Each structure stands twice: as C-alpha cells, then as structure tokens.
Amino acid sequence: MNRQISLFKVFMSEDVLKPLNDVLMSGFITQGPQVELFEQKCIEYFGNNHVLTLNSATSGLTLGLRLLMNEDKEEEWPGFDVENDVVLSPALTCFATNAAILANGCNIKWIDTDNTTANVSIEDIRSKLSENTKVLYVVHWGGYPVDLNALKELQEEHYSKYGYRFRIIEDCAHAFGATFEGKKLGNHGNICVFSLQAIKHLTTGDGGLIILPTEKLYNRGKLIRWFGIDRDKRNYNRKDFRMENDISEWGYKFHMNDINATIGIYNLPHIDTLLQKNRFNNQYLFDNLKGIEGLTLFENKDNRETSAWLFTMKVNRKNDFIEKMKESGIATSQVHNRNDLNTCVAEFRSDLPNISELEKELICIPVGWWLSEDDLKYMVDKIKCGW
C-alpha cells in the first residue's frame, strides 16, 4: 500500500480500557473522584495549584473572559464596559478563540500576524492599544510560544499611559507542554487555556484546562464552571439533597466528567514521551528543510520550547505544493482560516495586510509522534524533489 502520512493522530493509551469500563459501569459517570484525581495530576504536571478541568478549551476561553469582565473595579483595574471596551484578538486561529469573545457579547479588534511565526504581531498590538483595551487574546500557533516578555512590556507601556494593565488570555490549545524561558506555559501570570480535544497532545476525548493566575480568579472559576454552585458545600445540612444553596454569580455547565478524566489519567503519563518525539521531528525538519528554494522556515528561538503540534512554513505556489504532497501521500493543510472575514464578525472588519500575504504561502506538514524516521526522510526527499 502507498504510504499515507497524516497531519493528526489520536493517541490513546491501551491501559485505559479496564478503568474506563469500571467507570462506565460504576453508576457514577459525571464529575466525581476521577475528575479530582486528574485535576490533581494536572496541578502536579504544571506545578501550579490553580488548574481547573473543563469540558473543552472553547469553554475555557469563554470562562476566562467572563471572569475578567465581571471582576470588581479596583484601584488599578477600571472594570469592563461591554459597550465601549474592546478585546484584541488574533485573526489567524481556530474560530473557537473568537467565538468565546462573541459569546461574552464583546467587541473584537483584530490583530494581524507576525509572518515569521504566524503568532500575533507585537507591533500591531502596540499600534492598536487604547484606553478601551481591556483584554488581549493570543494563540501560541502550532505550539511555538508568543514572546511573553514583549507582551509584558506592552502591558507596562499601557499602564504608564492609561493607569492599568490590559489582561492577557493565552489560548494554549496547540501548546501543551511548551515552555517560555524555562517555564511551562500556564505559569507566566496570565489566564491560560489548554485543549484536550481528540487530536491534541493530551486527549481526554474532549476536554480542556484553564489555569488562573490568582486565587480569587481560581475560586470564582471553580464556581462558574458549574452553574455558580459550590460542589464542595453540597449535601451539608440540606433537608432535600437535590436543593442547592443561593447562587450569587450564575455560571455555566463547563465541567469535565469522570469518563473524560479517566482517559486523561491514563494518557497523561505518556505526554513527555510524545512531546519529546514531536520535538525531535520538529528539529529534524528544521535541520533538513533549510535552504530549499521556494520554502521559508519559521522563527525557532532558543528561549522557548515548542510543543511542535504543527510544523508550519511558507511555500511558493502553495496549491502546487499541496497537490504534489497529496500525490506522495503526505497530508498538508493551513489548519485554520483567518477568522475576520466571516459574516458573523463583519462589523469588526479591518485591513490586515500581513495575514493577507501570509495566507498565500502558509502551510503545515506532519510533525507528530506517529512519524517514523523513515517517514521524515521520505517527506524531506519528496519536498526536495520540488513542486
């Protein structure tokens, strides 16, 4: 059979079958002890006590903004005015990032791309900051971290002009295990959201994580992920065990359940091996695709460690490249469309020259743990043959 190299693959640990069966037949399948255990394991993995499990990253991206919008006004935080404030957000991402902003009823101002990374352009953010900028979303495209130091500097510039720092929500859906200056993403003082959806490094089937930078946000997040009800206080002195206490801030049904958590518990021990393999493949492609005519590699700085979910590059005559790779059984894709041209966000449209250029050449090729060294060599040979 001809070789077929896929862009994505689901990793599932075989030892999950028995415990998953036990949970399925236990009579208790919603949020319970497996969620507690998985959450504890994630806390240990990230070295951060403020991790909450969720049913998806989309939920986390929605929850993160909601937490900031309803934050109390403080000396250095003026509160959030839905009518007049804006949320800066990347145009190049999964629509989930921006659906989360729309779900909160907020105005979007698009951020153009940095065409050496496909991440947000720091210069474009700087030029769009105003006294109405309350929140910035960023996506670590393909798992390659955004320059978090540059974002900190922008926050300080904003503070010196307007007296408060805009808040940052990092969409880490592609970036499980990626690091910036030696620390795992999730630990740089921002709200961070990870996806545990089917084809991500760590899958629970569907699922997500949110990491909150303060105890206060963590405590509110924990309540709001499940209607606003404190699960820890349930069952105490209640006449009717189903009747809940007063809800002061209403919430969503965003929690994880024990079925998904069980998958997470058994897949998590494999994450370091998977990441190591993705990174090995990423480096192999960097080393071996250098200097090929018509192909431009992206930035790869040594103060950050990619999770290598995508291997993204720029190619001349993109459609010819896609066709040629298809003939050789190598899957390719741009993976996400620019979001700003969708009808449902027409009111926010603006000129984004970088992304218009980038989309002509942007392409991702397979890089994940399922590639053998022979697959890598085959891919490089096929690309070297030209398109």
Ligand X SMILES: Cc1ncc(COP(=O)(O)O)c(C=O)c1O
Query: Which residues would be at the binding site for ligand X (CB under 6 A)?
Result: 56-58, 93-94, 96-97, 139, 171, 173-174, 195, 197, 208
State in angstroms the smallest separation of the CB of 195 from ligand X. Answer: 3
Tokens of 335: 């993976």
Structure-block tokens of residue 371: 């590639």
Q: Which is nearer to ligand X, 31 or 158 (CB)?
A: 31
Provide the minimum distance between the beta carbon of 97 and ligand X in the complex, in angstroms, as a whole number: 5
CB of residue 349 to ligand X, shortest distance in Å? 21
Nearer to ligand X, 57 or 289 (CB): 57
Supply the minimum distance, in Å, between the C-beta of residue 383 and ligand X. 25
Least Cβ distance, residue 196 to ligand X (angstroms): 7
CB nearer ligand X, residue 129 or residue 169: 169
**What is the nearest approach in angstroms of ligand X to the Cβ of residue 57?**
3
Residues 154-182 as b/e (b if ≥16 CB within 10 A, e otherwise) read bbeebeeeeebbbbbbbbbbbbbbbbbee
Q: Which of 41, 100, 91 is nearest to 65 (CA)?
A: 100
Reading the block at residue 186, the tokens are 């999730």
Q: How many residues does the chain have?
A: 387
State how far the alpha carbon of 17 is from the alpha carbons of 23, 26, 61, 266, in Å: 10, 14, 31, 9
Q: Which is nearer to ligand X, 94 or 379 (CB)?
A: 94
Residue 63 or 289: which CB sits closer to ligand X?
63
Q: How far is the CB of 3 from ligand X (least distance, A)?
A: 26
Q: Nearer Cβ to ligand X, position 206 or 305?
A: 206
Query: Least distance to ligand X from the beta carbon of 156, Å?
Result: 27
Q: What angle do CA 85, 187, 305 make, to 5 degrees?
A: 110
Element (H, E) at 136: strand 133-139
Q: Are 7 and 332 in contact (CB under 8 A)?
A: yes
Of residues 212 and 289, the one with the C-beta less far from ligand X:
212
Sign of the CA dihedral with 264 first, then 260, 263, and 40 last? positive
Q: Where are the alpha helices (DSSP H) in the chain?
A: 17-24, 33-46, 57-69, 95-103, 122-128, 148-162, 215-224, 258-267, 271-288, 318-327, 353-358, 373-384
CA angle 49, 50, 52 (to 5 degrees): 120
CA-wise closest residue to 138 among 221, 217, 64: 64
Closer Cβ to ligand X, 64 or 324, answer by number: 64
- Between 53 and 195, CB nearer to ligand X: 195
Outline where 113-242 has alpha helix (H).
Answer: 122-128, 148-162, 215-224
User: Distance between CA 337 and CA 94 in Å, rounded?
Assistant: 7
Smallest distance from ligand X to CB 237, Å: 38
HSE, side-chain direction, 13 A CA sphere, residue 330? 24
Kindly tell me which of 217 and 335 has the beta carbon lying closer to ligand X.
335
What is the edge-to-edge ordering of all strands in the sheet holding 362-365? 295-297, 311-315, 362-365
* Minimum gap (Å) between residue 309 Cβ and ligand X: 9
CA distances from residue 266 to 37, 57, 373 in whole angstroms, order as listed: 11, 20, 27
